[in-house]
Amino acid sequence: MLFKNRRKKILSFLRKNGFDALLVQGTFDVFYLTGFYGSYGFLLLSKDKNFLLVDGRYLEEAQKSQDKDLEVVLIKDLFQDLKELTKNLRIKSLSFEPESMTYSMYSKMIGALDFLKILPLKDSIIKKQRSVKDEEEISILKEAVNISKKTFTQFKRNHLKSGKLEKEISADLNYLLEINGEGMSFETIVLSGEKTSLPHGKPSNKIVNKDDAILIDYGLLWKNYCTDHTRVIFLGDSKLKKYYKIVKDAFKYALKFVKPGIEIGKIDKAVREYLAKYDLEKNFVHSSGHGIGLEVHEYPVVNFKNKDKLKQGMVITLEPGLYFPGFGGVRYEEMILVTEKGFDVL
């Protein structure tokens, strides 16, 4: 893993912007920069030395790091530990990402570290950096998608049939995601019949009928990275088939706009523009996609408000859908890698 290189980029940002140090928290941000994955850990980045602070549950795991610039510290009292470390490093200011810190944590920190300037960053620099995947991340995500799609093919062949409960079908798919991957990246959605009009409905004890459409939104974990796909399966003849074709055509149309440098909001506008041809734009009730990686929903959000630009190396989902309350709904979702000249559907 290229953890050291990732830290170097963050440290370069700190130096250019006059920050002495950055306190990083949050499972995914800490993992991204260190390779340590645990529910409780902190990373202190500074120009002279970097410290990974963990409690006793994770000490052995954290010590597996071989990077000489990263020292593991066993937490005794978090704020006292931070006080000693920052004083030893002669740090005068400590920055943090406000999205990752609770008000309670912030209050305790400014009380314990009253000799420091505590400075929130305006932008989430780590999450912005995470949005552009490096070569190793892209390789892992390609592996993950390959496993995810093969798992779904296996599931369709052996487990998808009428007469079963939505919960049963969901459990069958979850089992395969567990044994073929490393578990689910989010709670699997399996909805049938008129329930498919619920974009994020939950599987229930409803029996799947022979003519039902079944909407399945699923993802697996692979080497801590997520996948996210949505399919609609038709067991018989359904009036929703024509809408599924429109949604897939909207997906293809929007793909034409995916390339480095394009305003992200234009992708969402393209989906809505296509659906408007059929007077169906009001039946599309969510954004057209989102970034994906260590978390299933990452920066950037793909909606019409986002004026940021796509960058080579970003991985996003594209998921147009149509929903008709009391009747049903359809959605189609793939993961898209932004390449040098355009895109790859993973």
Which CATH architecture best describes the domain 132-345?
Alpha-Beta Complex (3.90)
Whether residue 25 contacts residue 34, with contact meaning beta carbons closer than 8 Å, is answered with no
pLDDT at 225 (0 to 100): 97
Give the tens place of pLDDT for each residue, 307-340. 999 999 999 999 999 999 999 999 999 999 999 9
Rounded Cα–Cα distance for residues 177 and 183 (Å):
5
Between strands 213-218 and 221-222, the pairing is unpaired
DSSP code of residue 335: E
- pTM comes to 0.92
- Asked if the domains at 3-130 and 132-345 fall in one CATH topology, the answer is no
Give the tens place of pLDDT for each residue, 247-275. 999 999 999 999 999 999 999 999 999 99
Q: Which residues of the chain have pLDDT under 50?
A: none
pLDDT at 161 (0 to 100): 85
Nearest to 263 by CA among 206, 222, 302, 321: 302
Which CATH architecture best describes the domain 3-130?
3-Layer(aba) Sandwich (3.40)
Q: Where are the domains of the chain?
A: 3-130, 132-345
Rounded to 10 degrees, the C-alpha dihedral 256/262/263/264 comes to 50
Ramachandran sector of residue 31 (left: φ over 0; alpha: ψ -120 to 50; beta: rest)? alpha
Rounded Cα–Cα distance for residues 243 and 104 (Å):
48
Whether residue 216 contacts residue 252, with contact meaning beta carbons closer than 8 Å, is answered with no
Longest CA–CA span in the chain (Å) reads 71
10 Å CB burial of residue 44 (0-12, 13-18, 19+) is buried
DSSP string, 85-143: HHHHTT--EEEE-GGG--HHHHHHHHHHTTTSEEEE-SS-HHHHHHHB--HHHHHHHHH
According to the 3-state scheme, what is the secondary structure of 137-203?
A: HHHHHHHHHHHHHHHHHHHHHHHCCCCCEHHHHHHHHHHHHHHHCCCECCCCEEEEHHHHHCCCCCC
Stated length of the chain: 346
10 Å CB burial of residue 236 (0-12, 13-18, 19+) is exposed
**Sheet containing strand 298-302, strands side by side:** 298-302, 289-291, 315-318, 334-338, 343-345
- Report the amino acid identity of residue 321: G
pLDDT at 226 (0 to 100): 98
Rounded to 10 degrees, the C-alpha dihedral 270/202/197/248 comes to 40
**Which residues, other chains included, contact 246 with Cβ-Cβ below 8 Å and sequence gap of 6+?**
275, 278, 280, 322
Nearest to 147 by CA among 217, 216, 215, 220: 220
Whether residue 251 contacts residue 231, with contact meaning beta carbons closer than 8 Å, is answered with no
Whether residue 293 contacts residue 141, with contact meaning beta carbons closer than 8 Å, is answered with yes
Rounded Cα–Cα distance for residues 190 and 196 (Å):
8
